[in-house]
């Protein structure tokens, strides 16, 4: 990935907007999905982004736009990485849409760190403001004006009224906003019970679980196309200034342990299916960039691991939802357990941690899992860990240098139970909860399994650790073969 300074001679304006709102549940996501699909249906190349560490919204964005959605998060990423990501993904697109999270100014502290507004300021992106107009008319103008002037670094360039009751309601709100706030109302979406996606404990459900997903997205797009001025939104996006340039370094093009110079190409399996779908694109891309061959695996359909694997990556997802199917695939579970016992490097996050344990216990039943780690997990009705994390790497693990600070996030409704007293932890919790409020990262042989999710831009050490262990495992296999043949 190139830094902005390297791209300076080729820099061009990126038409872009941040979709913000006064608070969550204003309708940002359904509006954004409809907008993405509406532009895509016009044959327009549109690039989606999501503020924050969200996996689920990004999967919906990808489906709506037809282009892979990326995350922008100032907790994990440097300013240069955020702007480089926007630039690199948007240079061949007609418009870039960045959906915010929560309220526009809601962040981690008094300064609004990691807020949607911070992303807008870092990228100098104008904001399109989505307002729930329920039971408000002229008061909406007062609210919008407050958001306009709260931070002079934020430029709100237009408003979309959501859940409008009738024509008179729209007229009063529109006139008040345009008169007192001096910005256009570019759309007024009527109340519509069908403009929603079913909820579950982790927020929006994954798009793979919704029947006729294209039909739903097309319906959103129909509503947006009818009630929103798409040409005006494109014009507002084109008013965005050039992306700023920051001098901070980003992911290095080379790693101290160069696989290409060694002529090695370790094969890393990634379990990607309906049960395990939480992966940042950058995590997979950086493994490939460092020389790995990436092989997709389904824990639901594949009966065994691919031959000659040198590493295995199991992301998060909803293994508890697919627990019966995972349990039924005995041959793959056995294959993974035996491979882990033989020293295969395995990195697992959240759902992956649950899968590697002995069992997953739901409210009604217990399901057998891989059995590689001496623990069980139990589903609870409320989140057991939720939010950004800061971890410190312990000495007694192979994946990170000791004392490495690892920024991540967690959101899990399961908790670890029946953990063997001899289990070793790879991480010390400085912020967050992890497994027990103090520790995370169960270590066993070459296995590392944690509730903590990491992003490769914020934690490049993870990819280096994966590649080094996979390459060493590959070399050990060849050494064994040579000994046997010799």
Query: Does domain 259-482 match CATH 3.40.50.880?
Result: yes
Res 209: pLDDT: 59
Res 485: pLDDT: 59
Whether 259-482 and 4-238 are alike in CATH topology: the answer is yes
Mean pLDDT of 107-117: 96
Percent of the chain with pLDDT over 70: 89
The answer to whether residue 381 scores a pLDDT higher than 90 is yes
pLDDT band of 259, cuts 50, 70, 90:
very low
- What does the alpha-carbon distance between residue 190 and residue 228 come to, in Å, rounded to a whole number? 11
Res 250: pLDDT: 44
Query: pLDDT digits over 277-296, tens only?
Result: 999 999 999 999 999 999 99
Residue bearing tokens 């909406």: 140
CA distances to 189, 190, 299 from 224, rounded to whole Å, are: 7, 10, 38
Whether 256 contacts 290, CB under 8 Å: no
- What does the alpha-carbon distance between residue 245 and residue 263 come to, in Å, rounded to a whole number? 36
Return left, alpha or beta for 356; rule: phi > 0 is left, psi -120 to 50 is alpha, else beta: alpha
Whether 41 contacts 66, CB under 8 Å: no
Q: Name the more confident of 5 and 123.
A: 123
Packing angle between helix 167-180 and helix 139-150, nearest 10 degrees? Answer: 40
Res 167: pLDDT: 96
Query: pLDDT digits over 332-354, tens only?
Result: 999 999 999 999 999 999 999 99
- What does the alpha-carbon distance between residue 287 and residue 266 come to, in Å, rounded to a whole number? 10
Q: Name the more confident of 241 and 10.
A: 241
Element (H or E) spanning 340, and its range? helix 330-341
Of 3-12, 97-106, 397-406, the poorest mean pLDDT is in: 3-12
Annotated domain spans of the chain: 4-238, 259-482
- What does the alpha-carbon distance between residue 77 and residue 113 come to, in Å, rounded to a whole number? 12
5-14 own/partner pairs: CB under 8 Å, 24+ apart: 5/245, 5/247, 7/84, 7/87, 8/245, 11/87, 11/242, 11/243, 11/245, 12/91, 12/242, 13/238, 13/240, 13/241, 13/242, 14/86, 14/87, 14/90, 14/91, 14/93, 14/96, 14/240, 14/242, 14/243
Res 291: pLDDT: 94
Q: Is the dihedral of CA 430, 433, 437, 441 positive or negative?
A: negative
Residue 350 annotated among the catalytic residues of the structure = yes
Residue bearing tokens 């939104």: 233
Catalytic site residue from 69, 83, 181, 350 = 350
Res 307: pLDDT: 87
The answer to whether residue 253 scores a pLDDT higher than 70 is no
Whether 202 contacts 386, CB under 8 Å: no
Res 193: pLDDT: 79
Degrees, nearest 5: CA angle 214-219-222: 125
| Architecture of the structural domain at 4-238 | 3-Layer(aba) Sandwich (3.40)
Mean pLDDT of 262-283: 90
End-to-end Cα, the chain, rounded Å: 44
Average pLDDT, the chain: 91
Closest CA to 123 of 10, 17, 250: 17
Res 444: pLDDT: 97
pLDDT band of 483, cuts 50, 70, 90:
low
Res 481: pLDDT: 56
Res 201: pLDDT: 39
Query: pLDDT digits over 403-450, tens only?
Result: 999 999 999 999 999 999 999 999 999 999 999 999 999 999 999 999
- Kindly state the greatest CA–CA separation across the chain: 88
Percent of the chain with pLDDT over 90: 85
């Amino acid at each position: 990935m190139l830094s902005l300074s390297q791209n300076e001679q080729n820099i061009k304006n990126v038409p872009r907007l941040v979709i913000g709102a006064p608070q969550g549940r204003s309708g940002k996501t359904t509006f954004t999905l409809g907008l993405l699909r509406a532009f895509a249906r016009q044959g327009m190349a549109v690039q989606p982004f999501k503020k924050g560490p969200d996996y689920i919204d990004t999967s919906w964005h990808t489906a709506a736009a037809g282009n892979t959605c990326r995350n922008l998060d100032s907790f994990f990423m440097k300013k240069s990485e955020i702007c480089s990501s926007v630039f690199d993904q948007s240079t061949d697109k007609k418009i870039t849409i960045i959906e915010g999270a929560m309220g526009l100014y809601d962040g981690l502290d008094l300064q609004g760190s990691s807020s949607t507004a911070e992303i807008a300021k870092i990228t100098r992106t104008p904001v399109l403001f989505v307002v729930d107009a329920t039971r408000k008319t002229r008061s909406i103008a007062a609210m919008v004006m407050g958001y306009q002037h709260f931070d002079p670094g934020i430029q709100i360039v237009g408003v979309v009224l959501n859940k409008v009751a009738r024509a008179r309601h729209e007229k009063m709100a529109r006139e008040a906003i345009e008169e007192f706030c001096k910005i256009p109302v570019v759309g007024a979406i009527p109340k519509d019970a069908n403009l929603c996606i079913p909820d579950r404990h982790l927020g929006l459900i994954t798009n793979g679980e919704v029947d006729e997903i294209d039909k739903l997205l097309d319906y959103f797009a129909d509503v947006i196309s009818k009630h929103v001025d798409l040409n005006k939104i494109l014009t507002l996006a084109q008013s965005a200034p050039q992306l700023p340039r920051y001098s901070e370094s980003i992911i290095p093009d080379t790693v101290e342990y160069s696989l290409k110079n060694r002529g090695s190409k370790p094969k890393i399996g990634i379990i990607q299916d309906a049960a395990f779908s939480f992966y940042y694109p950058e995590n997979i891309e950086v493994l490939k960039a460092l020389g790995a061959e990436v092989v997709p695996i389904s824990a639901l359909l594949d009966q065994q691991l691919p031959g000659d694997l040198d590493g295995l990556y199991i992301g998060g997802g909803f293994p508890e939802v697919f627990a019966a199917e995972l349990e039924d695939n005995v041959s793959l579970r056995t294959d993974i357990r035996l491979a882990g016992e033989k020293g295969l490097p395995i990195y697992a996050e959240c759902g992956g941690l649950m899968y590697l344990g002995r069992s997953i216990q739901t409210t009604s039943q217990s399901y057998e899992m891989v059995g590689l780690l001496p623990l069980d997990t139990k589903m609870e009705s409320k989140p057991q860990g939720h939010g950004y994390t800061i971890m410190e790497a312990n000495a007694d693990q192979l994946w990170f240098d000791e004392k490495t600070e690892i920024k991540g996030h967690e959101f899990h409704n399961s908790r670890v139970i029946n953990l063997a007293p001899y289990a070793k932890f790879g991480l010390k919790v400085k912020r967050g909860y992890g497994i027990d409020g103090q520790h995370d990262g169960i270590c066993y042989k070459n296995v590392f399994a944690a509730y903590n999710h990491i992003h490769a831009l914020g934690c490049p050490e993870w990819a280096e650790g994966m590649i080094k262990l996979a390459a060493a495992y590959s070399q050990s296999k060849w050494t064994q073969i040579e000994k046997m043949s010799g």
